[in-house]
Structure 1
Amino acid sequence: MNRESRHIERERGGELTARYITNDGAIESGRLLIGLKNVFSKCLPNMPKEYICRLLFERRHKSVVIVRQPGNQVIGGITYRTFPGTPAARLGEIAFCAVAQTLQVTGYGTRLMNWTKHYAREMDGLEAFLTYADNNAVGYFSKQQFTKAITLEKEKWAGFIKDYDGGTLMECRIHPSLPYADFPGMLSKQRAALEGEVKRYTTGHVVHPGLDHWREGGGPLPVDQLPGVVEAGWTHTAGMLYRTYQIAMGGHILDPTEDNLHEFMAMLLKKAQRHADAAPFLQPVSADDVPDYYSIIIDPMDLGTMEQRLKSRRYYITLNMFAADFYKMVKNCQLYNGSTNPYFLAARRLYDQFWGVMRSSILPSLEAAGIVEPKL
């Protein structure tokens, strides 16, 4: 159970409550807004308290708070501004967002944002949020599906939201039908449905009893006598696939044994590392040099990481796995930089060399070895 699922269980048990509040003059609303003001004042020390109060109690601003029992304590909240009767009527600007300092990094932030999206859509008819995030908050907002790419038409927000020096403008579209208040529940149902379909066509979920063959002094056991192997689709031809190709290396024609495969992959990697264009790819991209890289590339790869995996002799069991990491490195470069950028053109030259060696070394062909050459 993930952290948000645990918070949902607490909500069902009455320990937590998400509330949508405005300055409507009600005593309870005023009490919750004051509690939220205290959270913002402690978590946002550089923000003047008078400014926080003015925005919280200004009636175009709406707030979503999480209240914890016992004690009816406000432990976090988000305040956003709406623009009714204007071209920005479907837009909300997040002004403040904070969770009590002792409860941060425990999933409350994600739960709070999901409730805010739910209420913003259901109560205010909003379709998107914009916010200026400071450097410390960009990571949080990125995890909540906010992006730096602003797709809203400029006339729908320019002149309405406030500009802040040093902040990063970020956007989040609010889906018209996603169940934000029960996101883990939706994912759980989808996972169960997918697993149910997979079980219809595979036997991977079947658990067989352990083997007594060697306890009874038996010798080598043919693969096809292992329970479940044949049922899973194994055939003698597939099991002998490694014998259908050979490797040309160092003037010799070699069988693809474990040692020969390792030596061949090491040769491929060394060629790539010595290539004239290899410098940008020898080590992981530095987040200090490229701050937004890891918000765009979620599965990075580089030649240094491939070398560590190869040295472990536990990761690259097949040539396809090795080639897949090389492809990932080049594809990431294309995704981040674009197809005409000099970095990608350099990566493309590495890629062409890599597959040139593969095609000339795998005999009689890549297809015979079951190796797929991905296209960029």
Structure 2
Amino acid sequence: MREDRTLPIKNFSEIVFCAVSEYQQVRGYGTHLMNHLKDYHIRLNITNLLTYADGFAVGYFKKQGFSSTITLNEQVYTGYIKDYDGATLMQCSLYTQVTYTRLTETLSLIKESINVIRTHRFNQIKQAHPDAKFLPNDIHTTDLNNYDNLINIDHNEINSSDETVDINLLYITLKSVYQEIRSHPYASHVQKRTLFQDYLSTQPLFPIDLDTIHERLKTKYYHNAYTFTADISRLLDIVGRAFSNQKKDIFNEIRVFDTFVRRKMNEFGLEIGHAQ
């Protein structure tokens, strides 16, 4: 059962009363009722719903897309809706491109489309780079089965215990690679960018050195292996250009170091290819 007051000229309706029996609510009728109400208002070109929710109703309205953050100008609704003591004013903005009574079907189509696009992109990469290697979790389909979690995601809780384990395993690998690289006798040439940046005719847009990579490891800057690999690859490219016109013995040292780094990266499954 519902009761609302529609004010088309103000582009909002006030939900005065909305109730579903507990038996029907657990069967999803509360969401079904609200979705029909949303579609009805879209047909009337009304794109905002307002309501005052008491403590028992706030949770329900949040699940239906309502928020206590009001984007409507206060002058639009002041004097047109009744202010209730102890209640929370909430707003839901409607999207005219969405048919709310077909939301589940729409999300299923989105899920299928994303997975098709991801698979197609993966095949393009494999075709262009047949020797490319991927870490186990780098290419995966998107699981959008839990629509409630997708819609009501709490960005303060995105670091689940599983994700933390994966990050820890990643950093064990990255730190091991870094220590191998750092132990090489020629690593001192690239420890700080001040040691080689003056040799460059054009300064890199994104400078890098081993100290920077070490700092990023300490602060857990790297969320995946790709960004770490990109930094190492960029370091080798910049250093190679910097020392290309230097004394032959220094240049040869850098070439030996370059080959060593690439081999170590490959041993850990972090392929960056061969030197040009």
TM-score relative to the length of structure 1: 0.38
- The structure with the greater share of residues assigned to helix is 2
- The structure with the greater share of residues assigned to strand is 1
TM-score relative to the length of structure 2: 0.50
